[in-house]
Copies of this chain bind each other. A is one copy, B any other.
Amino acid sequence: MNHPDKFGLGLRPTIHDVAHAARVSLATVDRVLNGRNGVRPATRERVLAAVKAVGYERDVAAANLSKRREYRIHFVLPAGPNSFMRGIEDEVASLCGPARQDRVQLSLQTVPPFDAPGLVTALHAIDPKRVDGLAVVATDAPIVREAIDGLVARGLPVVTLVSDVPSSRRGHFVGIDNVTAGRTAAGLLGRFCHDRPGDLAVVAGSGLVRDHVERRLGFEQVIRTEYRQLKVLPSIEGLDEPDLVDELLSDLLAQNPSIVGIYSLGAGTRGVSRALTRAGLARRPWTVVHELTPHARQELRSGVFDAVLHQDIGHEVRSAIRVLRARIDGRPFVPAQERIRIEVFLRDNIP
Contacts and interface: CB of A to CB of B under 8 A. Distances in A.
Nearest to A96: B7
Contacts of A102: 60-61
Interface in A90-115: 92-93, 96-100, 102, 105-109
A180 B349 CA distance: 5
A222 interface: yes
A183 interface: yes
**How many copies of this protein are present in the complex?**
2
Interface stretch (A18-26, A80-88, A140-148, A185-193): A185-193
A127 B1 CA distance: 9
Contact of A61 (B8, B64, B339): B64
A349 B341 contact: no
Interface string A47-82: 000000001010111101100000000100000000
Contacts of A5: 107
Interface string A124-146: 01110010000000000000000
A226 B343 CA distance: 22
Interface stretch (A161-169, A249-257, A310-318): A310-318
Interface residues of A, number: 68
A337 B314 contact: yes
A188 B107 contact: no
Interface string A1-33: 111011111000000000000000000000000
A199 to B, nearest CB: 19
Contact of A336 (B57, B306, B314): B314
Contacts of A264: none
A294 interface: no
